[in-house]
Amino acid sequence: MPVSDTRATVSCEDLVKVFRSATGETHALRGLGLELEPGALTVVAGPSGSGKSSLLTLLGARDRPSAGRLTVLGSDVGGASTRELRGLRRRRIGFVPQRSSSAVFTHLCAADQLRQVASWRGAARHDPDAALDAVGLGDRARHRPEALSGGEQQRLAVAMALVGRPALVVADEPTAELDHANADRVMDALLAAAAAGSTVVISSHDDRITHRADRLLRLRHGVLSSETAGRRTAAAVIDATGRLQLPPEVLELFPDRRVVVDADGDQVRLRRPEEDR
């Protein structure tokens, strides 16, 4: 059980989610404890069916727990009125659902979608063109969702979630439909929101995403199975022949001792060959 921290934006204790259907009950979350603080990006990873979406839907105040306590931005999600939760979601929580097409308004062009969210969040000075640029959609401002690809809709949903720097940003697999370059762009935008003080929590299966997290939580059968802290930054030396000796904790990431080197300006990224598409 986590130690309660008054800075926490999200706090849950013994969180349980049970889905009931004609065929029986599914225990998606089985007594989970967690605190999320402002200024950090947390990634929730775990196998399919481990409860990631169920957890993120609750953290985004879009569902209520079956049991346990969940406090989001000072509201008790189990006990709050529907109206209070709706206000909280509109004004203070940016949410990207797993099916991002369900987050966008079909009748508005991309720039107007952002203006609509900005008006809900009281973000009078929001600049939709800059926000679309940040996710690589600068040339799609006048397009409606029907004229956007799945990946473009996903990036639009991320841009909408970030409008007005909400206190909490929750994104369920926000890079699932994206290529490397666009996934990096979306992660840059989410990390910038965390650096500016938002609490950011996302789910992902993707190593390229999890390695950039401030905090990595692994779910298994509806409970947290492990936690890793910190984006890893390590010093290494390049010898006169150009050989780079990696520190042991980084070497562990490359069990086959094969690495792809991406050089982009003054940034160099090492990744496993199987990440190549």
Contact 109/140 with Cβ under 8 angstroms? no
Q: Does 46 bind ligand ATP (CB under 6 A)?
A: yes
User: Is the four-CA dihedral 42, 246, 267, 184 of positive or negative sign?
Assistant: negative
The C-alpha atoms of residue 133 and residue 119 are separated, in whole angstroms, by: 20
The residue among 13, 18, 28, 29 whose CA lies nearest residue 69 is: 13
Member of 10, 15, 40, 51 binding ligand ATP (CB under 6 A) = 51
Nearer to ligand ATP, 49 or 74 (CB): 49
Query: How many residues sit in the footprint of ligand ATP (CB under 6 A)?
Result: 12
Q: Does 23 bind ligand ATP (CB under 6 A)?
A: no
Nearer to ligand ATP, 52 or 92 (CB): 52
Contact 81/111 with Cβ under 8 angstroms? no
Q: Does 53 bind ligand ATP (CB under 6 A)?
A: yes
Rounded least distance, CB 222 to ligand ATP, Å: 7
Q: What is the DSSP letter of 241?
A: T
The C-alpha atoms of residue 102 and residue 49 are separated, in whole angstroms, by: 21
Per-residue x/- mask for ligand ATP, residues 54 to 93, rule CB under 6 A? x---------------------------------------
Rounded least distance, CB 162 to ligand ATP, Å: 22
The C-alpha atoms of residue 84 and residue 81 are separated, in whole angstroms, by: 5
Nearer to ligand ATP, 51 or 97 (CB): 51
Member of 4, 5, 7, 49 binding ligand ATP (CB under 6 A) = 49
Decide: helix, strand or coil at residue 178: coil
Decide: helix, strand or coil at residue 271: strand
Q: Does 28 bind ligand ATP (CB under 6 A)?
A: yes
Rounded least distance, CB 51 to ligand ATP, Å: 4
The residue among 165, 135, 130 whose CA lies nearest residue 39 is: 165
Residues that bind ligand ATP (CB under 6 A): 19, 21, 26, 28, 46, 48-54
